[in-house]
Amino acid sequence: MLWMEAVKRAQAELIEPFELEFVMRGKRNLDKLAWLNLMRKSISDEELSVLTTVTQALKAQKPPQYLVGWAEFMALTLTVNENVLIPRQETEELVRMILEDTSKSCHNLRVVDIGTGSGAIALSLVNARPDWKVTAVDLSKAALEVACENAKRHRLDVRFLVSDVLSALTEEKFDLIVSNPPYIDPAKANEVDDSVRKYEPSMALFAADKGLEMYEKIAKQALSVLTENGKIYLEIGYQQGAAVKAIFEAAFPNKVVTVHQDYFQKDRMVSVK
Ligand SMILES: C[S@@+](CC[C@H](N)C(=O)[O-])C[C@H]1O[C@@H](n2cnc3c(N)ncnc32)[C@H](O)[C@@H]1O
């Protein structure tokens, strides 16, 4: 059987057929032309078995990024596995907002990324601003292993620590605190896509107090570690703008708290300046 025929049959089983090409090309590191040339060749039993396994995994809604083992974020290709959230486009918007807000003349900023996961935010910031001193924390050791691997792969200098929010950093000061914390209300778990709920780590998704627990902890703990002119940048759930604004206005009455929309005009970020 030709590859073309095997792929066509497999794609007929899938709701999102284009994902199969993405995963197979990703696994074999093939560009588009090499993939098209492969289509005219016969498929071996071994290759057919890989194609079938991938098709079954996609049918079971496993995210393609976990199947290939990487995801693109900003300028970086990051290793991902089921211990880390797949970094999202909305989070790229948060990183861009920070970079636009802090000109290149803001040297040597001390930054902490709370809940770093794959390291997406921390690594992108240090990649764009190599003189920043970036610390990245996570409660998950398994996530930090992935983040460390990503730092090594891109030769980026980030300090990684296991920490429950900022509890390991109470003696330090930061000019900038950033976080994309877990923010989904567990009571709304049924509204989350099956592929997310089934495969992405639940500690990266869900938080108590209607999804607000991490914001409450960050606001409380940031009080002692944020410098006087320090800033906080947060990703939020699209219905949490007012609640997160209220938490940070109460904790930082002298700062301006602003809710920002994402590309789809949904509330998605909060800045505290
Ligand atoms: C939504 S994911 C964000 C991952 C990554 N920053 C990104 O934007 O792709 C949230 C992360 O917070 C971590 N986390 C959950 N509870 C935490 C806590 N109490 N302290 C520190 N990190 C926590 C999770 O392990 C997960 O890696």
What digits encode the pLDDT tens for the residues 230-267?
999 999 999 999 999 999 999 999 999 999 999 999 99
Question: Residue 178: CB within 6 Å of ligand 1?
Answer: no
Residues 75 and 51 occupy one common structural domain: no
Question: Residue 135: CB within 6 Å of ligand 1?
Answer: no
Instruction: Determine the pLDDT at residue 57.
Output: 97
Average pLDDT, the chain: 97
Residue 140, amino acid: S
Residues 49 and 90 occupy one common structural domain: no
Give φ, ψ of 69 to 5 degrees: 90, 10
Q: Which atom of ligand 1 is nearest to the CA of 73?
A: 9
- Report yes or no on 65 lying in a domain: no
pLDDT tens, position by position, 193-214: 999 999 999 999 999 999 999 9
Residues 90 and 162 occupy one common structural domain: yes
The answer to whether 190 and 244 are in contact (CB under 8 A) is no
The answer to whether 258 and 226 are in contact (CB under 8 A) is no
Residues 26 and 119 occupy one common structural domain: no
Instruction: Determine the pLDDT at residue 106.
Output: 82
For the residues of 59-74, what is the DSSP string, one character each? HTT--HHHHHTEEEET
Instruction: Determine the pLDDT at residue 105.
Output: 72
Buried b (16+ CB within 10 A) or exposed e, 230-243: bbbbbbbbeebbeb
- Exposed / middle / buried, residue 57 (Cβ in 10 Å: 0-12, 13-18, 19+): middle
pLDDT bin (cut points 50, 70, 90) of residue 140 is very high
Question: Residue 204: CB within 6 Å of ligand 1?
Answer: yes
CA distance 38 to 48: 13
Question: Residue 115: CB within 6 Å of ligand 1?
Answer: yes
Question: Residue 85: CB within 6 Å of ligand 1?
Answer: yes
Torsion, Cα 236 221 251 102, to 10 degrees, reads -60
Per-residue pLDDT averaged across 161-187, rounded?
97
Q: Which atom of ligand 1 is nearest to the CA of 84?
A: 27
Dmax (CA) of the chain: 70
Task: Return the CATH number at 113.
Answer: 3.40.50.150
Instruction: Determine the pLDDT at residue 154.
Output: 98
Element (H, E) at 77: strand 76-79
Residues 136 and 41 occupy one common structural domain: no
Q: Is 268 strand, coil or helix?
A: strand
Rounded to the nearest angstrom, the distance between the alpha carbon of 91 and the centre of ligand 1 is 13
Residues 51 and 99 occupy one common structural domain: no
Residues 159 and 46 occupy one common structural domain: no
pLDDT tens, position by position, 28-42: 999 999 999 999 999
Rounded to the nearest angstrom, the distance between the alpha carbon of 273 and the centre of ligand 1 is 23
Instruction: Determine the pLDDT at residue 247.
Output: 98
Question: Residue 116: CB within 6 Å of ligand 1?
Answer: yes
What is the pTM (predicted TM-score) of this model?
A: 0.95
ipTM associated with this complex:
0.99
Name the residue of 134, 163, 180 whose CB sits within 8 Å of the most ligand 1 atoms, as the mutation to test its pocket.
180
- Is 117 annotated as ligand-binding? yes
Contacts of 75 (CB under 8 A, 6+ apart): 124, 127, 128
Which domain range does residue 96 map to? 71-272
Question: Residue 203: CB within 6 Å of ligand 1?
Answer: yes
Rounded to the nearest angstrom, the distance between the alpha carbon of 62 and the centre of ligand 1 is 20
What are the tokens at 79?
Answer: 């290793």
Instruction: Determine the pLDDT at residue 119.
Output: 98
What SS3 string covers 197-262? HHHCCHHHHECHHHHCHHHHHHHHHHHHHEEEEEEEEEECCCCCHHHHHHHHHHHCCCCCEEEEEC
pLDDT tens, position by position, 56-104: 999 999 999 999 999 999 999 999 999 999 999 999 999 999 999 997 7
